[in-house]
Amino acid sequence: MAATKRRQGALTAGLAIALGLVPSMTVAQSPAAMPVPESALTEVGPGEGALEVVAWAGYVEDGSTSPDLDWVSGFEEATGCQVNVTLGNTSDEMFTLMQTGNYDLVSASGDASNRLITAGSVQPINLNLIPNYADVFEGLKGKPHNTVDGVPYGVPHGRGANLLMYNTDVVTPAPDSWSVVFDTESPYAGKVTAYDSPIYIADAAVYLMATNPELGITNPYALDETQFAAAVDLLKAQRSIIGRYWGLYTDEIAAFQSGDSVLGTTWQVIANVLKDPAAPTPIEAILPKEGATGWSDTWMLSAESKHPNCGYLFMNHIISPEVNAQATEYFGEAPANKLSCALTANPDHCALFHAEDEDYFSKVYFWATPQAQCLDGRTDVTCTDYSAWTQAWTEIKG
């Protein structure tokens, strides 16, 4: 009896440590309470002792890659939730794994999150039970890739934009628009690069939003047949000036270093590596005036999760200021938690990734899974779904 009481006491203490401050659990002290979705947890009980996580490589480091990279062991000690990570290689692999119902948490990218929600694989989240959510940047709250009809399905891990990168020695004048990568008469033909994934069709849609407003595109992931055809045609025309597509980010680094590519879409982390003072390549990466696509991964909880308490505890832990700073700095993206910027090892991390620049991210359309049910809410047309995008991508690459 005494032993059980001691264990319960330890768990409660652990909960208190993990959640930060016990008082913050009372409704009176927290900021305006958010509506609790139906079928979401109403309170976080004691940890169940285990947690099955599907994550991208580098998201959940427990010291096995390197002893310095460990933001999991502390959580395990504090909550008793032993974290077991399965690495997902592609969004689709993660989607399939979550459908088995054997996992609790998943770090879903936008090209999987909506599918998970529609398939009923993930459950709505009661954000009141995640105190650290209050410190998430406003620009990351309630986004269409993880919030449907006002119901939230997860917490954001970080964000990044797909920028336009160019070699400053070769590309003059400095571009400010995506038109340079879509110009079939481009003087840099053969040295232009693009991201090798069907989701890149959204980049063409973002460009068409500015150049062809008569198409009426409001969400680059909600494209009806006409809008989709226009985007695909644009990309088929672009094919003639593309030298090489990049799928692995190391490919693009090598291509820009060797001069094989001088212009194209990129991630901030690639630009930062290329600008490394040890061996700098003359490049600049900008957010063009039309805006850009971007990505923000969401931590989602399985609808059949056997360890929901541990799940909520982990979600709160991974977006806590210290941990979010470590995780996003390691991965190379902007953190989701406002308070992380003061805690990164490199004090310029947030500046480099424009983490606090809401104006910057207001022009970024985060990856969402294209679905037949239009993501922009239109009900008079059917939008093209991701399998149509995938088949079109095969045609575009040729």
Partner 1 sequence: MSTVGDMPRNTVSRRIQRSLHGRRRLQLSLVLGLPLLILVVLYLGSLALLLVNAFWSLDPVTSTVRHEWTLDNFVRIATNGVYHVITIRTIGLAALVTVTCAVIGFPVAYYMARIASVRTRRLLLLGVLLPLWASYLVKVFAWRAILQQQGVLNWVLEPLGIKGPGYGDVATWLVFTYLWLPYMITPIYAGLERIPNSMLEASSDLGARSGPTFRRVVLPLAFPAVVAGSIFTFSLTMGDYIAPALVSSTQFLGNVIQREVGTSNNLPLAAALAIIPIIVMIIYLIVARRLGAFEAL
What is the smallest separation between the CB atom of 394 and partner 1, expressed in angstroms? 5
The residue (of 272 and 373) whose beta carbon lies closer to partner 1 is: 373
> Taking contact as CB under 8 A, which single stretch among the options 4-12, 285-293, 297-305, 381-389 is the one that binds partner 1?
381-389
Contact present, 156 and 319 (Cβ < 8 Å): yes
What is the smallest separation between the CB atom of 86 and partner 1, expressed in angstroms? 16
Q: Which of 56, 75, 361, 393 binds partner 1 (CB under 8 A)?
A: 393
The residue (of 2 and 248) whose beta carbon lies closer to partner 1 is: 248
The residue (of 45 and 120) whose beta carbon lies closer to partner 1 is: 120
The residue (of 3 and 248) whose beta carbon lies closer to partner 1 is: 248
Return the residues of window 5-24 that contact partner 1 according to CB under 8 A.
none
State the Cα–Cα distance between residues 35 and 52, nearest whole angstrom. 27
Return the residues of window 341-370 that contact partner 1 according to CB under 8 A.
none
C-alpha angle 321-117-37 in degrees, rounded to nearest 5: 70
CA dihedral 185, 187, 189, 195 (to 10 degrees): -90
Give the x/- contact pattern for partner 1 in 118-137, rule: CB under 8 A. xx------------------
Return the residues of window 197-216 that contact partner 1 according to CB under 8 A.
197-198
What is the smallest separation between the CB atom of 231 and partner 1, expressed in angstroms? 16
State the Cα–Cα distance between residues 217 and 29, nearest whole angstrom. 43
- Picking from 181, 123, 194, the residue whose alpha carbon sits closest to that of residue 154 is 123
Give the x/- contact pattern for partner 1 in 169-198, rule: CB under 8 A. ---------------------------xxx
Residue that has been written with the tokens 């002792």 in this structure: 49
What is the smallest separation between the CB atom of 397 and partner 1, expressed in angstroms? 5
Is 372 near partner 1 (CB under 8 A)? Answer: yes
Q: How many binding residues for partner 1 (CB under 8 A)?
A: 36
Is 70 near partner 1 (CB under 8 A)? Answer: no
What is the smallest separation between the CB atom of 386 and partner 1, expressed in angstroms? 5
Contact present, 35 and 88 (Cβ < 8 Å): no
Q: Which of 23, 49, 247, 282 binds partner 1 (CB under 8 A)?
A: 247
What is the smallest separation between the CB atom of 375 and partner 1, expressed in angstroms? 13
Q: Which of 133, 290, 371, 375 binds partner 1 (CB under 8 A)?
A: 371
Residue 8 exposed, middle or buried by CB count within 10 Å (0-12, 13-18, 19+): exposed
Q: Which of 62, 183, 260, 322 binds partner 1 (CB under 8 A)?
A: 260
The residue (of 91 and 126) whose beta carbon lies closer to partner 1 is: 91
The residue (of 76 and 93) whose beta carbon lies closer to partner 1 is: 93
Is 259 near partner 1 (CB under 8 A)? Answer: yes
Return the residues of window 76-95 that contact partner 1 according to CB under 8 A.
90-93, 95
Note the residues at the interface with partner 1 (CB under 8 A). Answer: 90-93, 95-96, 111, 115, 118-119, 196-198, 244-245, 247, 254, 257-260, 371-373, 385-391, 393-395, 397-398
